[in-house]
């Protein structure tokens, strides 16, 4: 198994991320476990992805850096909240596990899998695509620097091929 989640987690720690907001997701399982186990990080479970930008805006206003973990299907819940990042000029770092790509079995995941990247970009988010596990740490560190130093929304789209395909019931 690839260690890309650990590389991402270490890059988040290196960027002084203190809050991680997430909607439970199998693709982010290792990151969520690491965040919940780390005493210097406050892990916040969300009921919907749209809560993430608000939680992390509050973290930023309180002097802490944060990151949002979500699946591509959750991007569709966020456009109104993403608009606040530009209007209010606060950073938002998102790590998005992609669905609807390589080996997808669930047709319900296809539409947002195709639309997530373009939708984020239309809302003013800078996006980077993570296809190679070796790039996980450096790409996350670069995205964090861009988000926090530039006070902008930045998303790392983690390819489904990297995460692995889901296989329910087999």
Residue range 43-78, pLDDT digits in tens: 999 999 999 999 999 999 999 999 999 998 888 888
> How many domains in the chain?
1
148 lies in some domain: yes
164, pLDDT greater than 80: no
Q: How far apart are CA 71 and CA 169, in angstroms?
A: 21
Sorting pLDDT into bands at 50, 70 and 90, what band is 34?
very high
40 lies in some domain: yes
- Residue 121 is part of which domain span? 4-163
Q: What is the mean pLDDT of the chain?
A: 90
Query: Is-above-0.75 flag for pTM?
Result: yes
**What pLDDT, on the 0 to 100 scale, is given for residue 167?**
62
61 lies in some domain: yes
168 lies in some domain: no
Q: Residue 28: which CATH number?
A: 3.40.50.970
170 lies in some domain: no
158 lies in some domain: yes
**Helix-helix angle 136-150:4-14, to 10 degrees:** 30
């Amino acid at each position: 198994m690839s260690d890309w989640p650990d590389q991402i987690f270490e890059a988040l720690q290196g960027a002084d991320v203190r809050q991680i907001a997430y909607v439970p997701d199998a693709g982010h399982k290792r990151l969520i476990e690491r965040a919940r186990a780390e005493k210097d990080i406050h892990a916040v479970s969300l009921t919907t992805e749209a809560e993430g930008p608000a939680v992390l805006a509050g973290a930023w206003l309180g002097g802490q850096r944060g990151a949002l973990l979500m699946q591509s299907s959750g991007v569709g819940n966020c456009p109104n909240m993403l608009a606040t990042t530009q209007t209010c000029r606060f950073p938002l770092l998102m790590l998005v596990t992609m669905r609807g790509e390589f080996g997808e079995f669930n047709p319900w995941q296809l539409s947002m899998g195709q639309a997530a990247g373009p939708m984020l970009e239309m809302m003013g988010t800078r996006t980077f695509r993570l296809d190679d596990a070796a790039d996980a740490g450096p790409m996350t560190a670069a995205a964090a620097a861009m988000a926090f130093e530039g006070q902008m929304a930045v998303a790392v789209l983690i390819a489904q091929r990297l995460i692995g395909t889901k296989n329910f019931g087999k």
